Amino acid sequence: MEAALKAKLTKVVELVDKNLADPDIELDYFIPGVTMDEETALDASEPYILLTYIINEDHTQKQRIPIKDNYLSKTPEDIANLVTFFIEQFTEQIDSVENGAQ
């Protein structure tokens, strides 16, 4: 992974962590060369963020948020905002289903 892309994705991780301070959301970053060793990356073709939404102690929902190639031309702030938007959409969907309002 080139240095400029690595720096951009490192900034995205920082911004997303800063934007989301929800104790019910766990984020695991699978970004080769940034959050994981490139040699140990199982799916190095596309970096992604694994979102785990803790609904209650017995129930969680997971969503994989890919960081697609067309996103990589955007600024770190734009990518972080897009990821944050996807996370908010996902949690709102789950909340809607859990609360019976579909």
Q: Return the pLDDT at 32.
A: 78
> Has residue 33 been placed in a domain?
yes
Q: Return the pLDDT at 58.
A: 84
pLDDT at residue 38 tops 60? no
> Has residue 102 been placed in a domain?
no
pLDDT at residue 101 tops 60? no
Instruction: Provide the domain limits for residue 89.
Output: 1-97
Domains held by the chain: number: 1
Q: Render pLDDT for 40-91 as a digit per residue (tens, 0 to 9).
A: 555 556 788 999 999 888 889 999 999 988 999 999 999 999 999 999 999 8
> Has residue 73 been placed in a domain?
yes
Q: H/E element holding 60?
A: strand 59-66
Q: pLDDT-derived band of residue 2, with 50, 70 and 90 as boundaries?
A: confident
Q: How many CA atoms lie within 13 A of 53 on its CB side?
A: 18
